[in-house]
Chains A and B, each alone.
Chain A
């Protein structure tokens, strides 16, 4: 059995009408992978990665102040595995600037050296500097200021 162009057209239309961003279909000798535009932006989830359910899920009471104060963890972008993505070396709260109200350590477009500080990860009031670790230019910033980041989470992309 194989897929005709008509089949693919039908499947594409089904995906468009659905609430899903991705569709993977595997049959004898055929693998079809469809992705909606934008599904690979930073809000996207690495295909095959375990689902990360935000704590403020539907089950959480809306009035939960502590939960509301917790910024949701941004899921890792699809590019997280590539060499130009700087990931969090430890779990903690990520800060883009040295102090609240001050300009960020780096903005998109900034040139960085391996020892350039690009952010801070705070663990129980202990500030840990995050270094760029490579020479290049900041292309994208994934992690939000003040967000909880987990170990291995993508922070920013640095192009050589």
Chain B
């Protein structure tokens, strides 16, 4: 197989720039599809060519499957990199690419369907011998009540088409179940075009730990270690790190093995992440979902393995397979520790609501062990249509205290004005003694009253 010559990037923001950077290093040309709201963005100016897909609203531009594929073909691109979010996990894009002979830098349509339907994904996990949270599907209210009684409260009603913390509702008392079911189903229908929901036990004190995998599409699967993403607000990740602090070695290897088993079961192709809920005290873990794309938090893995995950995605998509370097890195295991803060345009005074606007000042940190992935510079616009991620500050160190010390300094040196940010929140978390000790669970932000 030939290396790719020109790639269409169907995304925006920092990840578009991240993909452009690797393409440039590999000598691959880039065509970036942008919305009218992103015409003057740094990624738009960095790509070899930029094409305007449509107006600012995602449904009129970034989410238009036919437009994206047409733009890619007409601009002479052999492949499409979908980034994360937007079309990245839509089987419709994968299907059209397969029909049109355009390479999608990602998994197959069947794999996207297998993991996109969260109920199907549970079934695959069970088939692969990977533990799942007690629960199951419920087509009627009577069935749900029977199942709910068996699981016991508290439990979660989850949308089959949801994921990434979206489409979930808690039921603390079983008597509320019928009402929550009706509401969850209606909301799921509106949000995901699929009204089906399923039930799962609410695992109380758990950590969110995920495993990075690379699959060659022929059953070969490599794992590049785990990431702990337990610092969350309303299921949205804010700080991620690798390795997961304080995990007993056997539990860590069990997680790695479970992720490999799941990906191998699907004969997974490309970069993916298998997410687990981990009850470290009991030594138990459950499959949560698989993200069939590059993830926001991928740089921490890159920091400790030295592997360029975007380059691996491109290699695998072009038929060159997983690199020897990645294989060696997987064998060697992580070097040091890395922690990442997601700097968002969110207003702490307004319950962390997105804060769009124009950036009047942007100073990002630099120095040994510091990496910043951002598309934000002075004068950049933060449109109201998209997610509020401004950039990611990643610190690497020989050990966790070293990485943490660097990250504290880096966050203190970061300045973004013109839009509200969560920088003060990050400073508080990094100064917190429980966080410094490591191994907090997903209730941490709430319990420590870190929202300020």
Contacts and interface: CB of A to CB of B under 8 A. Distances in A.
Contact of A70 (B29, B39, B67, B75): B75
Contact of A152 (B5, B31, B36, B74): B36
A50 B47 CA distance: 11
Interface string B67-85: 1011100111010000000
A69 B75 CA distance: 9
Interface stretch (A28-36, A86-94, A134-142): A86-94
A59 interface: yes
Interface string A136-157: 0000000000001011110000
B301 to A, nearest CB: 31
B40 interface: yes
Contacts of B310: none
Contact of A150 (B51, B55, B66, B96): B51
A82 interface: no
A151 B29 contact: no
Interface in B49-105: 49-55, 61, 66-67, 69-71, 74-76, 78, 96, 100
Contact of A53 (B39, B48, B54, B67): B48
Nearest to B99: A124
B120 interface: no
A50 B66 contact: no
A17 interface: no
Given A51-B45, A59-B29, A148-B75, A92 B5 contact: no
Contact of A91 (B44, B48, B51, B100): B51
B76 A91 contact: no
Interface stretch (A5-13, A19-27, A60-68, A95-103): A60-68
Contact of B76 (A70, A150, A151, A153): A70
Interface in A110-160: 122-124, 126, 148, 150-153
Interface in B1-56: 5-6, 29, 31, 36, 39-40, 44-45, 48-55
Interface residues of B, number: 29
A108 interface: no
Contact of B31 (A50, A51, A55): A55
A79 B178 CA distance: 61
A126 B66 contact: yes
A37 to B, nearest CB: 28
Contacts of B66: 123-124, 126
A123 B69 CA distance: 9
Contacts of B36: 151-152
A53 B6 CA distance: 14
A91 B70 contact: yes
A83 interface: no
Interface in B209-256: none
A93 B45 CA distance: 23
A4 interface: no
A66 B7 CA distance: 13
A126 B48 CA distance: 28
Contact of B53 (A54, A59, A151): A151
A152 B44 CA distance: 15
B54 A57 contact: no
Given A55-B6, A55-B29, A124 B52 contact: no
A52 B6 CA distance: 16
A60 B49 contact: no
Interface of B: 5-6, 29, 31, 36, 39-40, 44-45, 48-55, 61, 66-67, 69-71, 74-76, 78, 96, 100
7 contacts: A55-B76, A60-B5, A66-B78, A90-B67, A91-B52, A93-B74, A124-B96
Given A59-B29, A66-B76, A126-B66, 5 more contacts: A91-B67, A124-B100, A151-B55, A151-B61, A153-B52
